[in-house]
Structure 1
Amino acid sequence: HERAVGASGAFAIHLRKLLGQDCPEHNVFCSPVSTSSALAMVLLGAKGSTVAQMVQALGLSSVEDPHGGFQSLLPQVHRPGAPYSLSIVYRLFSEESCEFLPSFQESCLLFYQAELEPLSFAKAPERSRNHINAWVSRKTEGKISELLAKNSTDEESRLVLINAVYFKGKGGKQVDKSCTRKMPFKVNQKEQRPVQMMFQEGKFPWAHVSEGQELTMLMLPDEGMDLSMVRQGSGHVWPCLGEQQVEKSLTSEKLQTWTSPEQMERTKVEVFLRRFKLQEEYDMGAVLQALRVVDAFHPGKADLSGTVVDSELCLSKFLHRSVVEVNVEGMEAAAARAVMVIPGCCLKSLPVFCADHPFLFFIRHNATHSLLFCGRFTSP
């Protein structure tokens, strides 16, 4: 699964930058592993230039077969008996008049444990929408209950790819609620908003890196996961360069190096981490077209002839939603290890790590080192 993880890491950084570049004041949150595996599932039935565009977007070479990698990776992420509950679900819903090829159905089950389902979009689009929403809600334990908005499907819908992610940790070291206090969150240099901040003091993996600016890494271990954070600047002072510069220069290789065990040393640290919850939904069709995956979404150009008998079929929609929540009861997310890139920390007699202004975060699965989630928290 190493190649799938590596490709997903590069895809994750690129995807997160795309989602956040047009509206730097907006929060961003997505699951690159689930998005890339869902796209790879469609790749099973794609041909011609449709394949070439998907392969390039995923960071793979034209001769690589990613399916064996995901076949190995996904069961490890969904490991029975794990100290967390994680659901990465995707399913292709097609118009019932379209007939899936048996070979495509078998491959989806073999490599991605994904089933395909025909629905009557042409005759009952609203009933089909409700059916999809009920399936997503059931698979995510009610965490994601209304993925498809009203009128988001119609009589012309033919192939809808749904991708939803939910995570709930079993909780590691609990934070005493008396250690939660109201503090200002600096949205920007002119605006502040009150938020609840959790305080912890203890020995945590900690490191500094100089990349033309000071970066500080902190890892908060939890049972079966690690919440790792990377921030830039000093103390409670707004950094001179800001998180946007960190975003632009960040790569998958840099993130992996900065948060490696060789880089970090256990140090006693005062940690202030605010409560936050993000639930974001994206039309991945529009995002992927920005990554030059164009043909798959256009009738007459898409070659999904290895998917269904009707060779004129194209993807009508590709929707993605994921959820993350951090509070005094432990981390709950649509994952298993988080890295936050935050502008602002100085070395005093006792270092202070205060997440009191916009930050980037990345949640990684420990055993496979795969980036399950990435995001940016900009505004409470």
Structure 2
Amino acid sequence: MRPPSILSLLLHLQLTWESSAFQDFIRQRNTEFALNLYQQFTDAEEKSNLIISPAGVTFALGLLQLGAKGETSAQLENALGYTVHDSRVQHLLQSTYGALTNSSHSPNIHLACGLFVESGIQLSPKFSEDTAIWVNGSLQRVNFGNPNETTTLINKWVGTRSRGNQHYAFYEKLGVVGSEIQNVISQPIEDSSPAQIAVISTMHFKSKWQNPFSLSETQHFKFTKADGSVIKVPMMYQVSEVNYGQIKTGGNQRFIIVELSYLEHTVSMFIIIPSERKQGLSYVEPHITAQTLSTWAKSMRRMKMEVFLPRFKVQSKFNLKTVLSTLGITDLFSPTKADFRGISEHEKLFVSEAIHEARIEVTEDGTEAAAATAMFLMKRSRALVFKADRPFFFLLRHLNTGTIVFMGRVMDPLE
């Protein structure tokens, strides 16, 4: 066998570099969309606990983009930063989808997308083919004219995809509906034709900490809320090696960031708080961008620390229509402007409801979450102390793909 020529090796290296650069580009776009999405929610919920699953929203919108045409497709592309009609994007997202659906080992992380289509609707053959990989054969025919039957079917699907734990089941609905679906849509949709298509995505995560907190070490400590009031909360405690950094921005704002790993180091939780106790999260959140997150993560250093983290449980439920419209995704909600000819050329389809719900619970043992979308270091002679005893921002990131699985903030651990 002839050895490869220098030209072929250089070509291989060039293609590898281009592939890596493209992957970084898509990951950055997904992170930017996640942060834009988060910002819209924080504007609406200024003083509340908050959690969202950007990955769940992104994949559901990507699924819809496969069938979008014209201005509807352009708006989705502008918001997401890419088009899934690009074969390279499809390949990368399918790879990411595969990584997020493998729950055969710890941590348990599972993303699933499903299509529920009204019986009698004729789907485009290409759309059926393209979505087959995304939904893993989860395309089901339903009768939206019978909301009770359809609700049972969808809830069963959600429960199965979230490993049977329906209490922590996340479901997010993007679909064309004309009547109320219990527990998913808060009120009936008036002046609309019967439901025709529902796009559902679920995200479930459950894992133990790489270094668990000891239950015997948990004590009630003071937590200072944004309004200055002080409450007592169950504060978990451990001494371990963690990734840690102190951040100083050009505007002289200073933050503290800690990374806590779950088993197998597949997913990590990043926690960010202002260095100054008097500064609120409003000093932190504007500085969190795709670029800064990447820079901070790469610049952190491993060191032994005392970590204080409150036990907390957060759940949020939002109507995505307002948020997505603010991000420029408007036409898909309009019966007259929506263009989903890529799904079916024989039906006039539009999205009438978009709901997002997510929950997370953090304890000494680990975390269970679900959703139904310039640094310098200081050395000291003893272990540094990280104490989340005031409002903080957090995110869970899948390290191999760079996907932000969940993100949010804790304003009151007892809320």
TM-score tier by shorter-chain length is 0.7 to 0.9
1:198–1:346 Cα change, 3 Å: farther
Q: Which residue of 2 aligns with 1:214?
A: 254
Q: Are 1:230 and 2:272 counterparts?
A: yes
- State the match for 1:341 in structure 2: none
Alignment of 1:136-175 (within 5 A): 136-140=158-162, 141-142=164-165, 143-144=167-168, 148-149=183-184, 152=187, 156-175=194-213
5 Å-filtered alignment, 1:108-187, equals 108-113=131-136, 115-121=138-144, 123-140=145-162, 141-142=164-165, 143-144=167-168, 148-149=183-184, 152=187, 156-187=194-225
- DSSP-derived class of the 2:400 partner: coil
Runs of 4+ in 1 over 4 A off after TM superposition: 61-65, 149-155, 345-349
Contact 2:112 2:203 in 1 (8 A): yes
Structure with greater Cα Rg: 2
Q: 1:283 to 1:276 in 2, by over 3 A?
A: same
Q: Which moved more, 1:200-209 or 1:61-70?
A: 61-70
Q: CA deviation at 1:6?
A: 1.9
Range with bigger deviation, 225-234 or 35-44: 225-234
Query: What is the match of residue 60 of structure 2?
Result: 38
Alpha-carbon contact 2:69-2:341 (below 8 Å) kept:
yes
Q: In the alignment, is residue 73 of structure 1 matched against residue 73 of structure 2?
A: no
Is the alpha carbon distance of 1:131 and 1:6 closer, same or farther for their aligned partners in structure 2, counting shifts above 3 Å?
A: same
Residue aligning to 1:334: 370
Alpha-carbon distance between aligned partners in 2 of 1:215 and 1:150, rounded to the nearest angstrom: 39
Which of 320, 328, 332 is the aligned partner of 1:296?
332
Aligned residue in 1 for 2:117: 94
2:105 is the alignment partner of 1:82:
yes
Counterpart of 2:360 (choices 314, 324, 331) is 324
Structure 2: tracts of 5 or more residues without a match: 1-22, 172-182, 372-377
The answer as to whether partners of 2:113 and 2:200 remain within 8 angstroms in 1 is yes
Corresponding residue SS for 1:198: strand
CA RMSD, Structure 1 to Structure 2 (Å) = 2.5
Compared CA separation, residues 279 and 266, structure 1 to 2 (3 A): same
Give the percent of matched residue pairs that are identical in Structure 1 and Structure 2: 27
Residue 32 of structure 2 aligns with an amino acid whose one-letter code is A
CA displacement at 1:138 relative to structure 2: 2.1
2:288 pairs, out of 233, 247, 250, with 250
Unaligned runs of 5+ residues in structure 1 are 336-344
What is the distance in 2 between the residues matched to 1:51 and 1:348?
A: 57
**Once the two structures are superposed, what CA deviation does each residue of 1:336-370 show, in whole Å capped at 9, x if it has no partner?**
xxxxxxxxx99795421111111111110121222
| Superposed displacement of residue 313, structure 1 | 0.8
Q: How far 1:315 sits from its partner (Å)?
A: 1.5
Post-superposition offset of 1:56: 0.4
- Residue pair 1:163, 1:319 contacting (<8 A) in 2 also: no
Q: CA deviation at 1:114?
A: 5.7
Q: Counterpart of 1:259?
A: 297
Report the alpha carbon displacement of residue 94 of structure 1 after superposing the two structures with TM. 2.9
More deviation, 67-76/140-149:
140-149
Alignment-derived partner of residue 338 in structure 1: none
Contact 1:98–1:309 under 8 Å retained in 2: no
- Write out per-residue CA displacement over residues 212-250 of structure 1, whole angstroms, 9 at most, x where no aligned residue: 21122212233123222222124xxx233x211211232
Q: SS of the counterpart of 1:79?
A: coil
CA distance in 2: counterparts of 1:314 and 1:40, whole angstroms: 15
| TM-score normalised to structure 1 length | 0.88
- In 2 relative to 1, CA 204–367 (structure 1 residues): closer, same or farther, beyond 3 Å? same
Change (3 A) 1:111 1:130: closer
Distance 1:328 1:33 in 2: 26
What is the one-letter code of the residue matched to 1:90? Answer: C
Report how far residue 26 of structure 1 moved.
1.5
Deviates more, 1:320-329 or 1:50-59: 320-329
**Conserved 8 A contact 1:92-1:161:** yes
> Equivalent residue for 1:366?
399
User: How many Å apart are 1:301 and its aligned residue?
Assistant: 0.6
Displacement of 1:152 in angstroms is 4.5
**TM-score, with structure 2 as normaliser:** 0.81
Alpha-carbon distance between aligned partners in 1 of 2:396 and 2:45, rounded to the nearest angstrom: 22
Query: Which residues of 2 match residues 342-357 of structure 1 at below 5 A?
Result: 349-357=382-390
In the superposition, relative to structure 1, how do residues 57 and 31 fare at CA in structure 2: closer, same or farther (>3 Å)? same
Which amino acid is the alignment partner of residue 159 of structure 1? Answer: I
| Shift in alpha-carbon separation, 1:97–1:187, aligned structure 2, 3 A | farther
Is structure 2 residue 414 aligned with structure 1 residue 376? no
Greater helix proportion: 2
* Corresponding residue SS for 1:334: strand
What amino acid sits opposite 2:52 in the alignment? C
Tell me if structure 1 keeps the 8 A contact 2:118–2:196.
yes
1:43-58 pair list within 5 angstroms: 43-58=65-80
Q: Residues 88 and 111 of structure 1: is their aligned pair in 2 closer, same or farther, counting only changes over 3 Å? A: closer
- Secondary structure class of the residue paired with 1:259: helix
